[in-house]
Amino acid sequence: MAVAKLIDGKIKAENIIEIIKKDSLNLQKEYNIKPGLAVLIIGEDPASHIYVKNKRLKAESCGFYSTQHTLPNDTSEEIILNLINELNDNDKIHGILVQLPLPKHLNETLITQAIRPSKDVDGFHYMNVGKLNSGKTSDAFIPCTPAGCMILIENELGNDLSGINAIVIGRSNIVGKPMASLLLKAHATVTIAHSKTKNLEMLASQADIIIVAVGSPNMVKASWIKPKAIIIDVGINRVGKVIDGEIKMGLTGDVDFNDACNIAGAITPVPGGVGPMTIAMLMSNTLSAARLSAGLEKSTSTKEI
């Protein structure tokens, strides 16, 4: 039986990070600008703290100036908004990121929209959302996870997806919707499926590309997959897995990976697929923010999207 090609997001991300390191160094040499990333984390969610630490370490490894602002769970909206305003006005900071999810008493919309669009490296500000939806991405920040998925897709199929059917399963503002916009921009014919969609299996089985971002382990079965389709698995689920003969907590995606490998043309693993690309795109967006602040074009590491 045919075995799908494994799409190695880790290696692709490492290659992108190497480009970013060089570009960052050149920016410092030629323009005396060191890209700066500020990350805010509010509360004690352990997974969020791991993500933030990884982002900080990656920013440092890229030669960026990096600050982390760790605030207690009961921090008021006013304190956070004041801090964002200070960072908006701080010339050493080019990118600002607020780690989600936020504690329940905080208004996520108010906080993410307070970040100046030119520093919104997560791409959540309505200005950046609007630019992406209008196909005007030359100075817009694209949300990191779909940006990373798009690079993986382009690696397989090139950047013209004319005549290709893609299905995006999941319609979140962070992944599903921007993913669909990027696919449309590349001329794919796009179906967006979500929790209210009927006949999902039938719709998925017609797609040349399936991108799934639901958070439901092993949801996409081999029977849903068209032979040779490209499968991008965004889902991250913590489940009990047999590792070295013992059941341990491990990560799995939204695709029934082992069976899917027998029918798909190419597939991203979890972990090691989309995850590393997300953090690479955050670095790329931060470098782009620094470059745009100097009147230059965005970073070449994401030029293709």
Q: Indicate which residues carry an active-site annotation.
A: 55, 99, 122
Single out the residue of 90, 118, 159, 172 in contact with ligand NAD (rule: CB under 6 A): 172
Single out the residue of 105, 194, 228, 303 in contact with ligand NAD (rule: CB under 6 A): 194
- For 281, the 3-state DSSP assignment is helix
Please report how close the Cβ of residue 236 comes to ligand NAD at its closest, in angstroms.
Answer: 4
In whole angstroms, what is the distance from residue 265 CA to residue 6 CA? Answer: 9
Closest CA to 233 of 277, 279, 273, 183: 273
217 φ, ψ (degrees, to nearest 5): -60, 135
Nearer to ligand NAD, 189 or 237 (CB): 237
Q: Is 293 in the site for ligand NAD (CB under 6 A)?
A: no
Nearer to ligand NAD, 55 or 291 (CB): 55
Single out the residue of 95, 170, 178, 269 in contact with ligand NAD (rule: CB under 6 A): 170
Q: Is 238 in the site for ligand NAD (CB under 6 A)?
A: no
Single out the residue of 36, 123, 235, 269 in contact with ligand NAD (rule: CB under 6 A): 235
Nearer to ligand NAD, 188 or 213 (CB): 213
112-126 in b/e form (b: 16+ CB < 10 A) is: bebbbbbbbbbbbbe
- For 107, the 3-state DSSP assignment is coil
Q: Is 58 in the site for ligand NAD (CB under 6 A)?
A: no
Question: Which pair of tokens denotes residue 18?
Answer: 């190497």
Please report how close the Cβ of residue 273 comes to ligand NAD at its closest, in angstroms.
Answer: 8
Please report how close the Cβ of residue 85 comes to ligand NAD at its closest, in angstroms.
Answer: 27
* Total residues binding ligand NAD (CB under 6 A): 23
Long-range Cβ contacts of 42-51 (<8 Å, 24+ apart): 42/71, 42/72, 42/73, 42/75, 42/80, 42/98, 42/99, 42/102, 42/103, 42/106, 43/71, 43/72, 43/73, 43/102, 43/103, 44/73, 45/101, 48/99, 48/100, 48/101, 51/99
Single out the residue of 4, 153, 214, 229 in contact with ligand NAD (rule: CB under 6 A): 214
User: Which positions touch ligand NAD (CB under 6 A)?
Assistant: 145, 169-172, 174-176, 193-195, 197, 200, 213-215, 234-237, 274-275, 278
